[in-house]
Amino acid sequence: MSSPPEIDERFFVPASLWPDEKAKKTAHGKGWLATVVKVAAPAGRAGKKRKSAGAEGGDDMVVHFVCDGEEEKIPMGVSAFRAKCKSIGKA
């Protein structure tokens, strides 16, 4: 299992996670810049507007992050998050 990221750690989230969403051009590629706001045990995902990308794996921990300019926290399993998103430092 991958180690969880830290709260306030910044990540590049690639556009391939949500191909139907309008991604931004960043210094790291096409996608979004995001900040980790919570790392916790998995919970029910009822009421979420955007489907969690990669949260279907059997992770013991879930990362919650917010993309720049957005308010919604997005959950993703730690293993999927570490495999798909790139750390770019601390906020």
Per-residue pLDDT tens over the stretch 6-18: 999 999 999 999 9
User: 43 pLDDT exceeds 90?
Assistant: no
Non-local (6+) Cβ contacts of 47 within 8 A are: none
Q: How many CB atoms lie within 10 A of CB 77?
A: 23
User: 90 pLDDT exceeds 90?
Assistant: no
Distance CA 57, CA 90 (A): 26
Give me the pLDDT at residue 46, please. Answer: 45
Question: Average pLDDT of 55-76?
Answer: 83
In the chain, domain spans:
9-90
Give me the pLDDT at residue 2, please. Answer: 66
Give me the pLDDT at residue 56, please. Answer: 45
Distance CA 15, CA 34 (A): 12
The dihedrals phi and psi of 33, each to the nearest 5 degrees, come to -100, 140
Share of the chain above pLDDT 90, in %: 70
